[in-house]
């Protein structure tokens, strides 16, 4: 398809009296949202947890119908009315409600706001940027939040770092980055058979997530210097209760649940910090820093190891596998 062809392929989500439907269809570029000053050609997109929810209609992620799916995209700018972007530039996009309220990147064309885009780091191809995706960029935001708190791989206060949801997208990237930075990483997973995978990413040991999943005491034996938590609920509460004096927990996910059924004891008796991490509305400068850090601190060979690829036509089935907990690491979607 050339740049000016008016028809493009997209994964469209529809919901009406006939129910919910998700499928690849052909749309006219004239239908792209007017709220956007840059026309782009995504070469790759990805399936994040939230894409999985949207594509399977498991949670109310999509706010306007019909919706072109795809929270993330990476590819080439085709036309721009934004001063920072010109045709031919390579971009990466994450979040900002794309695929939720604004037509997304599981499509051969998207019209996005230039203010949302980050220049694709020279270190990455569009495929690699989508292998990272919102999940991997959020993992880096978690690492940076811990660093701002003063967590370090060596020296005073250094110790084991726990990563929960470890075989997932956020978890896999967090394990790989933290290990490369020199931390001793303990990976918590429900997939015992993936222990070799987690060790290959750099985990020094692997624990059963069941150890963290049930209600526990408000204060437990101090173990973690820091935690990256993608799971929430009792897992997050137990992680807080096991964090060492002065340590920090970066919380970004809710794979177990959105509840926080705990006490203030770790905060008021152990000076533990709970650091919230949001990727969707993160400011541009923080995004640029996170992408620069990923270019430096994530081994591309490990990124490849955690990645599987599907076609646009295969995205819905892959989303179903993701929601069934059958996916390891990251899924990229090749567009076109």
Ligand X SMILES: NC(=O)c1ccc[n+]([C@@H]2O[C@H](COP(=O)([O-])OP(=O)(O)OC[C@H]3O[C@@H](n4cnc5c(N)ncnc54)[C@H](OP(=O)(O)O)[C@@H]3O)[C@@H](O)[C@H]2O)c1
In whole angstroms, the minimum distance from the beta carbon of 175 to ligand X comes to 10
Q: Which residues contact 60 (CB under 8 A, 6 or more apart)?
A: none
Residue with tokens 């999509």: 62
Which of 213, 237 has the CB closer to ligand X?
213
Q: Which of 165, 202, 247, 266 binds ligand X (CB under 6 A)?
A: 165
Instruction: By CB under 6 A, tell whether 242 contacts ligand X.
Output: no
Q: Which residue among 115, 259, 325, 326 contacts ligand X (CB under 6 A)?
A: 325
280 binds ligand X (CB under 6 A): yes
**Residue bearing tokens 């989508």:** 130
Single residue of 277, 294, 303, 318 touching ligand X by CB under 6 A: 277
Among 169, 247, 262, 266, binds ligand X (CB under 6 A): 169
- Residues paired with 187 in a beta bridge: 163, 206
Q: Taking a C-beta distance cutoff of 8 angstroms, is the pair 10, 16 a contact? A: no
Among 106, 118, 146, 231, binds ligand X (CB under 6 A): 231
Binding span for ligand X by CB under 6 A among 7-15, 110-118, 130-138, 218-226: 130-138
Q: Does 138 bind ligand X (CB under 6 A)?
A: yes
Binds ligand X by CB under 6 A, chosen from 135, 294, 315, 335: 135
- How many residues touch ligand X (CB under 6 A)? 32
CA distance linking residue 257 with residue 305, whole number of Å: 28
Q: Which of 41, 243, 256, 307 binds ligand X (CB under 6 A)?
A: 256
Question: For the sheet containing 7-16, what is the strand order?
Answer: 19-28, 7-16, 67-68
- Report which DSSP code applies to 120: P
Q: Which of residues 177-216 bind ligand X (CB under 6 A)?
A: 189-191, 209, 213
Among residues 129 and 213, whose Cβ is nearest to ligand X?
A: 213
**22 torsion bin: left (phi>0), alpha (psi -120 to 50), beta (else):** beta
Yes or no: say if 280 and 61 are a contact pair by the CB < 8 Å rule: no
Minimum gap (Å) between residue 173 Cβ and ligand X: 8
Q: Which residue is nearest to ligand X (CB)?
A: 168
Q: Compute φ and ψ for 227, nearest 5 degrees.
A: -140, 140
User: Which CB, 144 or 254, lies closer to ligand X?
Assistant: 254
| Contact stretch for ligand X (CB under 6 A) within 73-81, 152-160, 228-236, 262-270 | 228-236
Q: Give the C-alpha separation, 193 to 222, whole Å.
A: 28
Residues 6+ apart with CB under 8 A from 59: 53
Q: What is the DSSP string of 133-160?
A: HHHHHHHHHHHHHHHHHT--SSSTT--E
What does the radius of gyration of the chain's CA atoms come to, in whole angstroms? 20
CB closer to ligand X out of 77 and 166: 166
Q: Which residues bind ligand X (CB under 6 A)?
A: 48-50, 134-135, 138, 165-171, 189-191, 209, 213, 230-231, 235, 252-256, 277-280, 322, 325
């Amino acid at each position: 398809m050339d740049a000016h062809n008016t028809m493009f392929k997209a994964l469209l989500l529809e919901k009406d009296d006939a129910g919910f439907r998700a499928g690849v269809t052909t749309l006219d570029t004239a239908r792209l949202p007017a709220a956007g000053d840059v026309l782009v050609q995504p070469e790759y997109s990805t399936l994040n947890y939230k894409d999985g929810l949207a594509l399977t209609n498991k949670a109310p992620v999509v706010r306007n119908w019909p919706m072109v799916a795809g929270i993330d995209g990476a590819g080439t700018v085709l036309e721009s009315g934004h001063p920072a972007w010109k045709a031919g530039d390579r971009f990466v996009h994450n979040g900002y409600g794309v695929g939720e309220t604004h037509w997304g990147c599981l499509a051969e064309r998207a019209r996005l706001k230039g203010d949302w885009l980050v220049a694709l780091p020279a270190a990455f191809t569009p495929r690699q940027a989508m292998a990272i995706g919102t999940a991997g960029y959020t993992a880096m935001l978690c690492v940076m939040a811990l660093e701002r708190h003063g967590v370090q791989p060596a020296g005073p206060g250094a110790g084991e770092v726990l990563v929960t949801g470890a075989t997932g997208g956020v978890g896999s990237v967090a394990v790989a980055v933290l290990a490369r930075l020199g931390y001793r990483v303990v990976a918590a997973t429900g997939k015992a058979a993936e222990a070799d995978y987690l060790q290959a990413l750099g985990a020094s040991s692997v624990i059963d997530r069941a150890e963290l999943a049930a209600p526990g005491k408000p204060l437990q034996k101090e173990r973690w210097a820091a935690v990256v938590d993608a799971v929430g609920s009792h897992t997050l509460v137990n992680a807080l209760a096991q964090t060492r004096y002065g340590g920090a927990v970066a919380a970004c996910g809710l794979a177990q649940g959105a509840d926080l059924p705990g006490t203030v004891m770790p905060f008021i008796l152990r000076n533990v910090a709970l650091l919230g991490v949001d990727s969707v509305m993160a400011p541009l400068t923080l995004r640029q820093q996170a992408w620069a850090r990923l270019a430096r601190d994530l081994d591309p060979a490990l990124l490849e190891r955690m990645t599987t690829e599907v076609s646009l036509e295969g995205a819905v089935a892959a989303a179903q596998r993701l929601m069934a907990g059958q996916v390891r690491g990251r899924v990229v979607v090749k567009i076109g």
